[in-house]
Amino acid sequence: MSPRNSLEPLISAEKIEVRVAELAHRLEHDHPGGDLVVVSVLSGSVIFLADLVRKMNLPMRIDTVSVSSYAGRAVAPGELKVLKTFSEDVHGKHVLLIDDILDTGGTLSAVIGEIQAMEPASLKTCVLLRKKKERNIDVKPDYVGFEIEDLFVVGYGLDCDGMYRNLPYIAVFNLT
């Protein structure tokens, strides 16, 4: 971290742990038969994914998709690029899409479109964070961990230029 940048804790590791357990319980309740294909958007959601699925007692397959929408630093998203597509065939299966943060809605919308084209039996979405802001893209996740203000955040998988993903909490990244 540069001396000109600072981290301000926003959501503690303890609050994250409690909320992830609540989401896992709700997902188990809503998918009693299990047999899910859980698709995680890399790389930001990987820690959330790992903690969430370990708390779910359901049969599931796990897959990942890589989409890049941030050009780096604490700036507005750049052009959306799908870097890795699905390994699992989701046709006729129940899919749970996991992402770290709903910001503009572009990433989630693009991946939802890709999954829907494969004709799953059902598709639900779960995000750890949803920013309170207006979006040009109408995306409403089925499950939300936390609502946050429109801030640039890092930690618990979220990064700035590849750094801070390993923080056990979520912090506001301030450029000062």
pLDDT digits (tens, 9 = 90+) for 22-38: 999 999 999 887 679 99
Q: What is the pLDDT of residue 75?
A: 45
Q: Which candidate in 99, 103, 142, 159 is catalytic?
A: 103
Q: What is the mean pLDDT of the chain?
A: 88
- Tokens 């919308």 locate to 109
Chain-centre distance of CA 11, in angstroms? 16
Does 103 qualify as catalytic in the annotation? yes
Provide the sign of the torsion angle of the four alpha carbons 151, 77, 14, 55, taken in this order: positive
- The domain locations on the chain are 13-149
CATH class of the 13-149 domain in this structure: alpha beta
Which candidate, 133, 175, 173, places its Cα nearest to that of 155?
Answer: 173
Enter the pTM of the model: 0.88
Distance CA 167, CA 160 (A): 12
